[in-house]
Amino acid sequence: MRAFIFPGQGSQKVGMGSELAEASVAAREVFGEVDEALKQKLSALMRDGPDDQLTLTENAQPAIMANAIATLRVLEQDFGVKLAEKGGCVAGHSLGEYAALCAVGAFGLADTARLLKLRGQAMQAAVPLGEGTMAVLLGADIDQAKALAEAAAQGQVCEVANDNDPSQVVISGHTAAIERAVGLVKDFGIKRGMILNVSAPFHSSLMAPAAARMAEALGETPPAAFTLPIYANVTAARVDDPEEERALLVEQVTGRVRWRESVLAMRADGVESFVELGGKVLGPMVGRIDKDAQVASLVTMADLEAFAKEIA
């Protein structure tokens, strides 16, 4: 069985999607529809920058989704590889869960773009700039990260945000607490801690105001039935029911991205290969989680052509 997976924030870069847009009508149609939905020339920002504007979470979130869905549409329309025929399930990392849901028909493209724009704005507004941040812990497993976060909190918020793979965990919370945690890494047998260049403490309890806004938005635009099951971030388990998934998307704003466990759950359920669309971030993570898993990361036209030939 094959899983199609969709990257999250941090995979954006100036120039993303440009080659696909030049080569494919299918890609240009995706970028045009997203621009129209947002009443914003997001495609121009993706193509030309500036980088500091693309990195803003309210722009990065819909941009990463648009690039992933454009990659999927090119694969389907230009190379004849249909996700519903060649895939057994989908999953996405953080905002990538929305891209995954769009890919399987739970949300239309325009609605997905608007939801992610709002999600980015809500997350940014939840905590005043400078009061919260995140850090990546390298050479840390989940138990080490939990122990470190608990020790560093000292009455503030310091929580595990992303359990990415066996050697990389991200923590999130109040800036002072995260800085304390980075200073304590050696005491917990962790190789290195680095503050991330992010504008808010995503996937922590400080995001509660953003979760409330997303609950309202998803009440107005709930996911419809999807053509393939999705593995949800916060449960690392298969979901088939749209109403269950709606509730999990709200919980995801403050909850941990359990990516390592999600990959292991998919493997246990029979997934042998993972195909990342629109990025080269999740593929390496999957390889570190399970060295026996087959992995492909599709970004360029050449990537898509080679993949289509391989599975023909």
Is residue 168 within 8 Å of residue 175, measured between CB atoms?
A: no
Q: In what order do the strands lie in the sheet with 192-195?
A: 158-165, 168-174, 132-138, 192-195
Is residue 256 within 8 Å of residue 162, measured between CB atoms?
A: yes
Is residue 40 within 8 Å of residue 118, measured between CB atoms?
A: no
* Rounded distance between C-alpha atoms, residue 124 and residue 56, angstroms: 9
Q: Which secondary-structure segment (H or E) carries 125?
A: helix 109-126
* Rounded distance between C-alpha atoms, residue 202 and residue 134, angstroms: 7
What three-state secondary structure class fits 260?
A: helix
Is 167 a residue of the active site?
no
* Rounded distance between C-alpha atoms, residue 31 and residue 67, angstroms: 8
Burial of 129 (0-12, 13-18, 19+ CB in 10 A): exposed
For residue 50, is the peptide bond before it cis, meaning its omega torsion is within 30 degrees of 0?
yes
Is 203 a residue of the active site?
yes
Q: Choosing from 203, 204, 262, 297, which is the catalytic residue?
A: 203
Q: Choosing from 94, 199, 204, 297, which is the catalytic residue?
A: 94
* Rounded distance between C-alpha atoms, residue 207 and residue 18, angstroms: 33
Amino acid at 81: V
| DSSP assignments along 31-76, one per residue | HHHHHHHHTS-HHHHHHH--HHHHHSHHHHHHHHHHHHHHHHHHHH
Q: Which secondary-structure segment (H or E) carries 231?
A: strand 230-231
Is residue 156 within 8 Å of residue 174, measured between CB atoms?
A: yes
Residues taking part in catalysis: 94, 203
